[in-house]
Amino acid sequence: MGREVISVLLTLILSCGLITGCKASVKESNNQPEPATILDESEEVSIQTEVLDDYDDLEEDYRVAFNYQLPTLRLLSNGTDAIMMGDSKIGGQPDLPKGYKWPSSKGVYHSFLAQINLKQLPDSELSGLLPKEGILYFFYDSSMSRWIKEDETIETHEVIYTASTTDLQTLKYPKKLGEEYRYSESKVNITEMDSYPPYDHDVFYEMNLSDQAFDEYYDFLDSVNPEPSIHKMFGYADNIQGDMRLSCVLDELGLEWSDYRELNKDEKEKLYTMQDDWLLLYQQDSTDEMMFGDDGMVYYWIKEEDLRDRRFDKVVMEMQCY
């Protein structure tokens, strides 16, 4: 894409709001609550005394992270309880209303990662960002066909929201979905916890932190995770290869990183400020059975305005691995 074309495109987008797009129909009930506003990342919240007591030796520069913690909804495995139709779960087969088909793109069937029953979310301001009823379903092309076949028209993911939780049926695995992309199901309990900025977050930018500080903070982030696999909604993403929000901005605008590198400083700064509009809707981690790349994670991002409008069709998916 030429340098002049990119500049014209950015001018139109930023001045006229062309990225909003048209409204698409989404199945949901008529009486939806007004979503709450997500916590601003710069909003200071109370420091958890018990956490600080355990990390008195954490280097002072990194202790600033305690002033930027954000709430998150963690999905913790509960393999002992029976899974009822429509329960929140990871893996298995989705419980969708009649009429829905297993998502696919150009003959490539997506793996089912999780379904989240919104009635089973804890009562918190985070749950106010979502409808009070219904189920969210997350699918992903675990075969990575888009990259293997070098065909960018193959969709990599799908997020489905249904307002109804009645008349559900469990979809059977498609015959063309390989056994390695069918995952065992596990019921989950969803609880609110704190999340902390990743070590490469802007709050630490240009601090020139020591290797010791880096190691101590990395250990701290590990210590606040009750399970090895980190499945969650909202809060900070657990980045593996860096912040993804600017990539979401470029994806929405139809720009490549090569286009971004051709922009001048002011144009880059405009795009950089747009990344604050993006929220982590859902993050799913690798497990012993469910592997994304080399022990990676799948992240589903959405703009707050699109979440408010239930535009789950506008979710941007990112996968990072080691």
> Which helix H or strand E contains 279, and what residues bound it?
strand 278-285
In this prediction, residue 4 carries a pLDDT of 57
pLDDT for res 18: 46
Amino acid at 4: E
Structure tokens at 229: 């696999």
pLDDT, tens digit, for every residue of 89-147? Answer: 999 999 999 999 999 999 999 999 999 999 999 988 887 889 999 999 999 999 998 88
Angle between helices 3-16 and 245-253 (to 10 degrees): 100
Query: What is the average per-residue pLDDT within 256-267?
Result: 94
Exposure class string for 85-113: b at 16+ Cβ within 10 A, else e: ebbbbbbbbbbbbeebebbbbeebbbbbb
pLDDT, tens digit, for every residue of 186-206? 999 999 999 999 888 888 876
Looking at residue 319, its amino acid is M
* Residue 134 contacts residue 292 (beta carbons within 8 Å): no
Report CA torsion sign: 64, 248, 180, 80. positive
What are the structure tokens assigned to 33, written together? 């609550």
**Structure confidence at residue 47 as a pLDDT band (50, 70, 90):** very low
Element housing 301 (H / E): strand 297-303
Residue 61 banded pLDDT, cuts 50, 70, 90: low
Q: Which helix (H) or strand (E) holds 116?
A: strand 111-117
Bridge partners, residue 316, by sequence:
301
Q: Where are the beta strands (DSSP E) in 118-247?
A: 135-140, 157-162, 168-170, 186-195, 232-233
58 within 8 A of 216, measured Cβ to Cβ: yes
Closest by CA position to 142, among listed 103, 185, 187 = 103
What pTM, to 2 d.p., does this model score?
Answer: 0.83
For the chain, helix (H) and strand (E) counts, in that order, are: 9, 14
Residue of 83, 154, 75, 156 lying closest to 121 (CA atoms): 75
Which of the two residues, 179 and 11, has the higher pLDDT score?
179
Confirm or reject CATH 1.10.3470.10 for domain 3-320, answering yes or no.
no
Give the model confidence (pLDDT) of 139-188 as tens digits. Answer: 999 999 888 888 888 999 999 999 989 899 999 999 999 999 999 999 99
Over the chain, what is the mean pLDDT?
Answer: 83
Nearest to 291 by CA among 162, 157, 143: 143
Report the pLDDT value the prediction gives residue 57, as an integer from 0 to 100: 56
